[in-house]
Amino acid sequence: MVVDEAELRYLRRCVELATEALEEGDEPFGSVLVAADGAVLAEDHNRVASGDRTRHPEFELARWAAANMSPEERAAATVYTSGEHCPMCAAAHGWVGLGRIVYVSSSEQLASWLAELKVPAPPVRTLPIRDIVPDLVVEGPVPGLAEQVRDLHRRFHRAS
Ligand SMILES: [Zn+2]
């Protein structure tokens, strides 16, 4: 897919957040919630190293949006993320009525990278976001940046 410079900035920030997660000993995932006017409202990275495997950034952003935004604001917002939402996060995104998602790398790419690294399959099945929230506008992957995300996953799994 082709993204413009403004969108690339948000996506690069997601990769930075994923890198921060990795440097804190967590899985490399990062996400940014952006309002219709382009303002960054919230951002987060994975925090599952705490032992709570639901601490995905996309889930945190969905709950932040539910607590802090009107339904209209949520529908007009975009979530940028280093990796396509998992089923749990896609469902949370859909339930709170957030808008478009742009991801750097797809769940399919992640699954193939983890298989290459011989990482055991996760307990929750990997599915495309549109299998969970059929009417959502979803864009990705973004070539170039996706290779950076792949390197982060390699670093994480080689270190652990
Ligand atoms: Zn998730």
**Predicted pLDDT at 151:** 97
Distance from Cα 9 to the centre of ligand 1, integer Å: 22
Q: Look up residue 44 and give its two tokens.
A: 């987060």
Distance from Cα 121 to the centre of ligand 1, integer Å: 15
Distance from Cα 89 to the centre of ligand 1, integer Å: 4
Prior bond to 87 cis, omega within 30? no
Q: Could you list which residues have their CB under 5 Å from ion ligand 1?
A: 56, 86, 88-89
Q: In a 3-state reduction of DSSP, which class is residue 19? A: helix
Among positive and negative, which fits the CA dihedral 136, 115, 46, 43? negative
Distance from Cα 76 to the centre of ligand 1, integer Å: 21
Distance from Cα 54 to the centre of ligand 1, integer Å: 7
Among positive and negative, which fits the CA dihedral 116, 122, 125, 130? negative
pLDDT in tens, the chain (160 residues): 667 888 999 999 999 999 999 999 999 999 999 999 999 999 999 999 999 999 999 999 999 999 999 999 999 999 999 999 999 999 999 999 999 999 999 999 999 999 999 999 889 999 999 999 999 999 999 998 999 999 999 999 987 6
Plot region of 100 (φ>0 → left; ψ -120 to 50 → alpha; else → beta): beta
Distance from Cα 2 to the centre of ligand 1, integer Å: 24
Distance from Cα 131 to the centre of ligand 1, integer Å: 14
